[in-house]
């Protein structure tokens, strides 16, 4: 009997999996299904597909498309999976999944010691945003929150405060929340108390200049950051 796929080809067609991942994935708050999705993404990338769709993942797993989509969102929320964006020569947007930061995290074993309180706080932010928006966050929205936390080094409590303020102002969108955070950072505001005091002072000055006598809703803690 002859085989089209030789044993030598079989031995060469291997996927390298870090043993430390299999030993310690629970310490990264990952379950078995999430790990398998990560490995499938890694396999697709080794085969030249850097951005496999939920449909493509579902074809290789027992999960359906919706389940794959939900797991992808969770992995992005956990900052395990990163979406890289770039433009080609004709300015067409290309997207790809990046596992580089996760592999580096595994290599350094940075998260294997100590408590997970910081990671839990970050996860609570995503949950809070989904509750306020009343829907799952899009990959772009998840990436925006990750940028606030990782690149802009925004304090999680301030991100929550900015979200809360946007809700109370009736302007629940990421552009408004981002503007609030940038305004606070520009003015050196690093705590919720500082943000509250700054907002109160702003409205005190506005009320002193106003000549209107009609009753108004108390917005001393929440003002329109886009109109300042």
pLDDT tens for each residue of 116-171: 555 555 567 888 898 888 888 888 888 889 889 888 888 888 898 889 888 877 88
User: Tell me, what's the pLDDT at 203?
Assistant: 56
User: Tell me, what's the pLDDT at 110?
Assistant: 47
Q: What's the chain's average pLDDT?
A: 80
Where exactly are the structural domains of the chain?
15-113, 115-207+222-228
Q: Are 15-113 and 115-207+222-228 the same fold in CATH? A: yes
Fold of 115-207+222-228: Arc Repressor Mutant, subunit A (1.10.10)
User: Tell me, what's the pLDDT at 120?
Assistant: 56
Q: CA 148, 128, 100 angle in degrees (round to 5)?
A: 45
Instruction: State in words which class domain 15-113 has.
Output: mainly alpha
Alpha-carbon distance values, 125 to 151, 155, 161 (Å): 16, 11, 11
Alpha-carbon distance values, 228 to 67, 86, 195, 224 (Å): 43, 34, 15, 7
Structure letter (DSSP) for residue 27? G
Cβ contact 102:56 at 8 Å: no
> pLDDT grade, residue 114 (50/70/90)?
very low
Q: What is the pTM of this model?
A: 0.52
């Amino acid at each position: 009997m002859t085989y089209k796929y030789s044993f030598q080809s079989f031995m060469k067609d291997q996927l390298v999996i870090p043993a430390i991942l299999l030993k310690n994935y629970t310490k990264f708050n990952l379950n078995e299904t999430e790990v398998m999705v990560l490995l499938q993404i890694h396999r697709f990338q080794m085969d030249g597909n850097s951005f496999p769709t939920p449909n493509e993942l579902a074809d290789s797993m027992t999960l359906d498309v919706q389940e794959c989509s939900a797991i992808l969102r969770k992995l992005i929320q956990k900052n395990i999976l990163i979406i890289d964006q770039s433009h080609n020569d004709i300015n067409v947007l290309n997207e790809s999944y990046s596992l580089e930061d996760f592999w580096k995290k595994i290599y350094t074993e940075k998260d294997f010691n100590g408590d997970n309180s910081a990671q839990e706080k970050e996860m609570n932010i995503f949950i809070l945003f989904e509750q306020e928006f009343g829907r799952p966050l899009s990959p772009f929205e998840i990436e925006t929150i990750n940028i606030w936390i990782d690149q802009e080094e925004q304090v999680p409590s301030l991100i929550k405060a900015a979200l809360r303020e946007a809700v109370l102002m009736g302007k629940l969108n990421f552009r408004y929340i981002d503007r609030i955070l940038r305004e606070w950072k520009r003015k050196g505001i690093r705590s919720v108390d500082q943000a509250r005091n700054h907002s109160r002072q702003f409205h005190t000055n506005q009320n002193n200049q106003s000549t209107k006598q009609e009753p108004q809703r108390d917005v001393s803690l929440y003002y329109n950051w886009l109109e300042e």
